[in-house]
Structure 1
Amino acid sequence: MTVQVTRTDGVTDEFARFGDRYVKHSDGSLEVVRAGTMQPATYPADGWTDVAGDEKRKPHRLFHHRT
């Protein structure tokens, strides 16, 4: 799926590899994890305004432990 990131200057960056996903961090930064590469593309909290595409899912545990 394509991930499109709109930067604060209005330019849109497009990542079009199969398996590209984005991750929004709690500090407001954005990371685009690219399929087949080691280095993700990162944007600071004030460096992007909008993102569209597939969001990376959090891993699910196989067993749920009761507390």
Structure 2
Amino acid sequence: MTLPESVVLAAYIEQAGALQGLPVAAAYRDGVLVHLTVSAQMAELVMDFVLPDEAGIASVFVP
């Protein structure tokens, strides 16, 4: 059985905050969950985009 994405992300918010010693206050959890959900959706769009083989690698700026 797969958990809903919102449950997984809510657990991630709690665990990541605890791991870093920066817990997210209850008043902000819903907003953080919304932003993390949107970010995950945007990342999925980027990761699903297939680059053509002839796409070149971007150069790296070195000052």
Q: Which structure's residues are more often helix, by fraction? A: 2
Question: So what's the TM-score if we normalise by structure 2?
Answer: 0.21
Greater share of strand residues, 1 or 2?
Answer: 1
Question: TM-score by structure 1 length?
Answer: 0.21
Tell me: higher relative CO, structure 1 or 2? Use CA pairs within 8 A at least 6 residues apart: 1
CA radius of gyration, larger in: 2
